[in-house]
Amino acid sequence: MKQYMNFIGGEFVASGKTFENRAPVDNRVLGLVHEAGAAEVDAAVRAARAALNGEWGRMTVARRVELLHAVADEINRRFDDFLQAEMADTGKPHALASHVDIPRGAANFKVFADIVKKVPTESFEMATPDGGQALNYAVRSPVGVIGVVCPWNLPLLLMTWKVGPALACGNTVVVKPSEETPATATLLGEVMNAVGIPPGVYNVVHGFGPDSAGEFLTRHPGVNGITFTGETRTGEAIMAAAAKGVRPVSFELGGKNAGIVFADADFDQAVAGITRSAFENCGQVCLGTERVYVERPIFDRFVAALKARAEALKPGPSEEPGVGIGPLISQEHKQKVLSYYEKAVREGATVVTGGGEPAMKGPLAEGHWVQPTIWTGLPESAAVIREEIFGPCCHIAPFDTEEEAIALANATDYGLATTVWTQNLGRAHRVAKQVEVGICWINSWFLRDLRTAFGGAKASGIGREGGVHSLEFYTELRNVCVKL
């Protein structure tokens, strides 16, 4: 049976305790994951520290950049291995994994290596009180050992989004992938060895959160900074762990994102865009749209068109032709999503489509499938409008004015992303200025330029990563003041 081992100091390390990794499409056992205990986590942090004090710490930026390009090239060379691993772990459709997850996983190494190579630092000349002069200049140095705690929805993409810049800046990392998706992080260990990344620069510890690898890593005093993507509640626990030693955190957390569709939008584009933002990756995208607000004159037509699109999404395993939607990640998550489907009905929703489980045949009947679901008619206080569900579902409500749409979009504790659909240029800019989010898309969704800032407002995160913004977290900026 396949074994997913920890990767510590350039070696694959077993542990005495394993748990099963299961496939979301049919719940079959894919292999055994070696859970890291406190001792393995400590070994990984020590290996990361040793690498900082060794060859990696002394390496020129040019050589580091070259090696990170080699990592990206090797991921691309082994594209199919990564693709198969990601599809097995998540059950996501081939089109999505092959166009988004794996290419972005590779790109994350090149983009940040190039940014680090090119970005200058500041310098200021100043007059001194004695009539002389001084020169200030800034230098960036690595923060040290970075703990990287990852979710399961876009495993390789979101992990490399942090590991890429962390390594480009000269840090070393200990990664804790989600217990649901151990494969691609493990595979990346092979890539690191193949291209000659020194041992200890990239380490992986498997396991769960509380009282397991996640907690051991985030509490470890040898970790100098923690970057985390996941639920807001987990972020609170990690922030408490990071308080000890006043260690910096970068958080990309949950969302309850609004889509706003004005009557003047390109109707077909808006329907296609909201279809993606609500149902892509079976709704398991932090940027996804679970609250849709549509201007009243086109409300009924929009609901009907989105219903038709949702019903056309064929559920099935990753490589089956024509599949539009995969399963949820786990049985536990399926129960959570279905509990919201029931809650919506109890709260008085009109179920436009879905609301249950699709009938799947043969072994697929054991998988974690749910129907894409659309509701209307709920008050804004309803749980399915307030809480992040992280499933393929949305509630659609009508609005009458621009001000009302903005107020509805902002009436949430979260603040990750908004997608706005309108042909009116002035309105697009006005709305973008007023929505309380980290990312506002106009007539698009999930269109990402890796040089731009990414992160959430309010309960959706702390800090920004992306482009030069990643340098703020992954480096210490030191000012040197020289009296001339």
Pick from 50, 47, 319: which is nearest to 189 by CA? 47
In the structure encoding, which two tokens stand for residue 154, read together? Answer: 């876009």
Q: Which is nearer to ligand NAD, 42 or 231 (CB)?
A: 231
From 12, 208, 267, 446, residue interacting with ligand NAD (rule: CB under 6 A): 208
From 201, 286, 306, 420, residue interacting with ligand NAD (rule: CB under 6 A): 286
Burial of 146 (C-beta count, 10 Å sphere; 0-12/13-18/19+): buried
From the CB of 77, what's the least distance to ligand NAD, in Å?
27
From 40, 74, 179, 295, residue interacting with ligand NAD (rule: CB under 6 A): 179
Burial of 322 (C-beta count, 10 Å sphere; 0-12/13-18/19+): exposed
Residues 108, 294: Cα–Cα separation, whole Å: 35
Q: Does 466 bind ligand NAD (CB under 6 A)?
A: no
Locate tokens 């305790």: which residue? 17
Q: Which is nearer to ligand NAD, 295 or 465 (CB)?
A: 465
Q: Which is nearer to ligand NAD, 254 or 326 (CB)?
A: 254
Which positions from 374 through 393 interact with ligand NAD, judged by CB under 6 A?
388, 390
**Cβ atoms within 10 Å, residue 221:** 9
From 105, 317, 456, 463, residue interacting with ligand NAD (rule: CB under 6 A): 456
Q: Helices 267-279 and 299-312 meet at what angle, rounded to 10?
A: 50
From the CB of 237, what's the least distance to ligand NAD, in Å?
4
Residues 476, 146: Cα–Cα separation, whole Å: 13
Shortest-Cβ-distance residue relative to ligand NAD: 209
Q: Does 238 bind ligand NAD (CB under 6 A)?
A: yes
From the CB of 473, what's the least distance to ligand NAD, in Å?
14
Find out whether 464 and 133 touch, Cβ atoms under 8 Å. no
Q: Compose the 107-146 pattern: x for residues touching ligand NAD by CB under 6 A, - for all others.
A: ----------------------------------------
Residues 51, 68: Cα–Cα separation, whole Å: 16
Q: Does 182 bind ligand NAD (CB under 6 A)?
A: no
Residues, the chain: 484
Pick from 397, 160, 377, 178: which is nearest to 284 by CA? 178
* HSE-CB of 74 using CA atoms within 13 angstroms: 18
In the structure encoding, which two tokens stand for residue 467, read together? Answer: 């482009």
Number of residues that bind ligand NAD (CB under 6 A): 32
**Cβ atoms within 10 Å, residue 50:** 16
From 176, 247, 334, 469, residue interacting with ligand NAD (rule: CB under 6 A): 176
Catalytic residues: 252
Residues 367, 28: Cα–Cα separation, whole Å: 9
Residues 405, 430: Cα–Cα separation, whole Å: 12
From 129, 210, 322, 426, residue interacting with ligand NAD (rule: CB under 6 A): 210
Q: Does 203 bind ligand NAD (CB under 6 A)?
A: no
Q: Which is nearer to ligand NAD, 204 or 374 (CB)?
A: 204
* HSE-CB of 242 using CA atoms within 13 angstroms: 21
Find out whether 443 and 273 touch, Cβ atoms under 8 Å. yes
From the CB of 462, what's the least distance to ligand NAD, in Å?
11
From 67, 158, 349, 397, residue interacting with ligand NAD (rule: CB under 6 A): 158
From 214, 355, 392, 467, residue interacting with ligand NAD (rule: CB under 6 A): 214
From 98, 178, 419, 422, residue interacting with ligand NAD (rule: CB under 6 A): 178
- Provide long-range contacts, Cβ within 8 A and 24+ apart, for 130-133: 132/483, 132/484, 133/483, 133/484
From the CB of 245, what's the least distance to ligand NAD, in Å?
15
From 8, 106, 150, 389, residue interacting with ligand NAD (rule: CB under 6 A): 150
Q: Does 465 bind ligand NAD (CB under 6 A)?
A: no
* HSE-CB of 120 using CA atoms within 13 angstroms: 3
From the CB of 61, what's the least distance to ligand NAD, in Å?
28
Give the residues lining the site for ligand NAD (CB under 6 A). 149-153, 158, 176, 178-179, 208-210, 214-215, 218, 229-231, 234, 237-238, 252-255, 286, 388, 390, 416, 456, 460-461
